Chain A
Amino acid sequence: MTFRPDDLKRMYTTMVLIRKFEQNTIEIFSRRMKQGDFPGALHSSEGQEAIAVGVCSQLRKDDYVFSTYRGHGHAIAKGIPLEKVVAEVHGRSTGASRGYGGSMHLFDKSINFMGGNGIVGAGLPMALGTAYAAIKRGTDQVTTAFFGDGGASQGAFHEALNMAAVKKYPIIFVCENNHYAATTHVSVNCPIEDIGDRSKAYGIPGPVIDGNDIQEVANTVGDAVKRARGGDGPTLIECKTWRHRAHCMVIPEHRPGKDRRHWSARDPIDHLREVLTARGIANEATIQKLEFEAQEQLDAAVKFMENSPMPDPAEVLDVVYAD
C-alpha cells in the first residue's frame, strides 16, 4: 500500500519528535548525573523510531499495546500526550503514571497503552489476556506486544506465542531486533538467522522485514492487523533495526565501529526524509518546518514538566491496593 503524503509527513514529524525527546532526556539525565544525582535508568530508542511509528500508524486508539523498557517511542506513537511522557521520565506528579512508574513504566489506560516493562519479554503473556478479553466481548480490538531480540530467548515468548497460536488470539508480536541484548550479540542469543522463523514452530506467519523502512513496517503490520481483526490469529513480525546508543546510559558503547557505520547509513529518519523528497511530498523548507513543529512540541512539553510539582510522599501508599 502507498501512503498518502499527509500520513507520511505526520509519520516523519512523530519520528523526529521521538528522537528529539530521547536526545533531550539524555541531556537532562546527564546533567543531573554530573551533579551526583540518580535520575534513573534510561534506554534510548533512537534509531528504532520507524518501528514505533510504523506499528502504531496501523492501530486504533482502542487497540492494546504492551511495550518494553525501551518504550518511549511506542508511548509517544500510540498517543500518550508528550508532556505526560516527559513529566513521567522526570518523576513529576503530572506524568503518565503520576511519578510512580518512570521511564520503563509508562501507562495510559485511556488509549489502552498497557505499560512498558522492566522484565524482558514479560509483556507477551499479558497480551494473551487483553486479546482474550477482546474476543470474549466480541470487539475487534487487536493487541500488539513489543519485545527485542533478547526477549525472544525468554520462556515467556514461547509460552505466549504457543498459546496465542492455539487460541488464534488477535495479537501482533513485534520483535525489534536491534542485534544486541544489552551487550550480547544476537548470535549468542539465537542459533538461527531470523527470529521471525520461530513462527514456524507455532504455525503462524513470521515476516522478517527492514525495521528502518517505515513503509515496510506499516504495510506488514497493516496486513497482520487485518488478519488479527478477521479472526485468523497472531503474527510474529521481526523488524531488523539498530539502536543508535548503547543499551542504557551507564553502559559505554562497545559495538564494532564497522556495524555502527553500516547502520548509521540506514537511519530510519534519513530514509523517510529521502522518500518525502524523492516523491516530491516535501522540499527542504517543508522538512525544516516539520522538524520545527516537533521541536516546538518538545519545548512546550519540557516547560510543562519543569512547571510540574514532584509527587507528594504522603500519597505513596495510596495506589498499591484498590478499594
Chain B
Amino acid sequence: MRTETATMRKIKPINAMNEALDSAMAADGDVVLFGEDIGAYGGVWALSKGLQRKYGQDRVFDTPLSECAIMGACTGAAMAGLRPVIEIMYVDFMTIAMDQLVNQASKIRLMSGGAFDLPMTIIAPCGAGTCEAAQHSNSPEAWFLNTPGLKVVMPSSVRDMNGLLKSSIRDNNPVLYLWHKVLYDLEEEVSDHDLEVPLGSAAVRREGTDITVVAYSLMAHRVLESAANLDGDVSVEIIDPRTLHPFDLDMVLTSLRKTGRLLVVHESPIRCGVGADIVRRVCDSGFDLLKSAPKVLGGKDSPIPFSKPLESAVVPQVNDIESAIRSIVKA
C-alpha cells in the first residue's frame, strides 16, 4: 500500500461525491450533470457546488421540477452517447420518474438488441432518521433490484461514496446510487490513494468468528456499533456489500466458511426484501456452510412515520441488531 506516503485529509460524504463528480467531469467531457436546483445554487445537498462555474451551463444545469422529464432527458442523453448524471432530490421522488427508469432506461439495451448502451448515473439520498416523514424517508432499493438492467450502489463510508460514484459514472449501464441522509455529517480521513472502488466488491468492516452480518449503507454503521457492544461476548464479522447489484457473494461465502452463521440487516422493508434475496443466494451456493438458520432483520411492514419514537420503531436500531445476533449465536 502507498497510503503511508499519502496526504490524509478529513472529508464528508457531500465533499466525497462533489469531488467524484469534479474528477469525472474533468476526465471526460461527455459527463454532464443536471437536475432540480443543481445549477446556480449547487444542489440542495450541495452536491454540485462550484461545478457549474467550473464546467459551464452547458454541462451543469437546472431543470424544471419534473422528475419524469429529468429521467427521460438523462436516458435520451445516454442513448446519444453522453454520460449523464442526474440528482433526484429524494429517492422518494423516483416514483414520478419510474417509467423512464424501469420501462425505458433499464430495457432499452435489451429492446434494441444490445445496440444502445445507457451510461447514466442517478444520485439520490435515501433513508429514515431525519424525521422527514413518509414521503422523504424511503429505502426502496428492492424495487430497483427487481428491475433487470439496472445496477444499485449503496455506499456506507465516505471513501466509498467517492470511489463508487466514480465507478458508477464510468459504468456503461444505468446505475442507481443511493446515499443515506443520516450519514450527511459523517467525517472520514482519506487519502487520494483510497478513492478507487470498483462496483461488485464487498468490504470487511470488522473481522470476527462467530457470526457474519451483512449490512450496507447506514446499517453497516449501526451493526458496527452493535458489534462493539457485544465485544468479548460475541465475535461479529461485518460484510458491507457496498453494491447490491452486482453483489459480491464470494466475500459473504468466504466469511461464512469461518462463522457458519448469517444475519442480514437492512432498513428497507423486510418483505420481499434485499435480505431475503441474499439468504436465497447463500442457500443456493453455500447451504452446507450454515450451522443455523440464516436470518434477516429489516424494516417493519410500515411506511416511515414522522415522530421520532415512531420513526425509530420501524427501522432496525442498535439494540434490535444485538438481540438478533444473540438469538442466532445462541441457537
Contact = CB atoms under 8 A, between A and B. Distances in A.
Nearest to A96: B113
A125 B68 CA distance: 7
A136 B59 contact: yes
Interface string A297-321: 0000000000000000000001111
Nearest to A126: B76
A163 B66 contact: yes
A47 interface: no
A97 to B, nearest CB: 4
Contact of B72 (A118, A128, A134, A162): A128
A133 B76 contact: yes
A174 interface: no
Contact of B115 (A107, A128, A166): A107
B84 interface: yes
Contacts of B151: 321
B64 A126 contact: no
Contacts of B149: 320-321
Interface stretch (B16-24, B99-107, B189-197, B228-236): B99-107
Select the residue from B68, B73, B77, B114 with max chain A CB neighbours within 10 A.
B73
A268 interface: no
A64 B71 contact: no
A233 interface: no
Interface in A221-250: none
Nearest to A102: B111
A160 B110 contact: no
B114 A132 contact: no
Contacts of A163: 63-64, 66, 69, 73
Given A105-B111, A125-B73, A133 B172 contact: no
A98 B80 CA distance: 20
Contacts of A136: 32, 58-59, 82
Contacts of B188: none
Given A122-B100, A133-B81, A159-B66, A101 B111 contact: yes
A129 B80 contact: yes
A323 B109 CA distance: 12
Contacts of B115: 97, 107-109
B68 A107 contact: no
A100 B109 CA distance: 9
Contacts of A99: 113
A265 interface: no
A99 B115 CA distance: 12
A301 to B, nearest CB: 18
Contact of B111 (A107, A109, A135, A156): A107
Interface in A270-323: 318-323
Contact of B110 (A124, A134, A320): A320
Interface string B78-95: 111110100000000000
A107 B149 CA distance: 18
Interface in B128-183: 148-149, 151, 172-173
Contacts of B69: 125, 128, 156, 159-160, 162-163
B153 to A, nearest CB: 14
Select the residue from B75, B78, B110, B151 with max chain A CB neighbours within 10 A.
B110
A95 interface: yes
A55 interface: no
A192 interface: no
B113 A127 contact: no
Given A115-B112, A125-B100, A159-B69, A130 B79 contact: yes
Contacts of A160: 69, 72
Select the residue from B82, B110, B112 with max chain A CB neighbours within 10 A.
B112
Contact of A133 (B68, B80, B110): B80
Contacts of A130: 76-77, 79-80
Contacts of B79: 114, 126, 129-130
B134 to A, nearest CB: 22
Given A129-B72, A136-B58, A159-B69, A97 B111 contact: yes
Contact of B112 (A64, A100, A128, A131): A100
Interface in A57-72: 64, 66
Interface string A106-147: 011100001101110010111111111111100000010000
A132 B100 CA distance: 17
A155 interface: yes
A199 B90 CA distance: 31
B108 interface: yes
B82 A119 contact: no
A156 B109 CA distance: 21
B112 A101 contact: yes
A96 B114 CA distance: 11
A253 B71 CA distance: 37
A258 B262 CA distance: 70
Contact of B172 (A127, A156, A162, A323): A323
Contact of B68 (A101, A134, A143, A155): A155
Contacts of B287: none
B248 interface: no
Contacts of B103: 118-119, 122
B76 A320 contact: no
A134 B115 CA distance: 20
A131 B80 CA distance: 9
B187 interface: no
A312 B32 CA distance: 38
Contacts of B111: 97, 100-101, 105, 107, 115
Given A96-B113, A117-B104, A122-B100, 8 more contacts: A98-B114, A118-B103, A126-B104, A129-B80, A133-B76, A155-B68, A322-B117, A322-B172
16 contacts: A96-B113, A97-B113, A98-B114, A99-B113, A108-B115, A115-B112, A119-B103, A124-B72, A125-B75, A126-B72, A129-B75, A132-B73, A156-B99, A159-B68, A159-B72, A322-B109
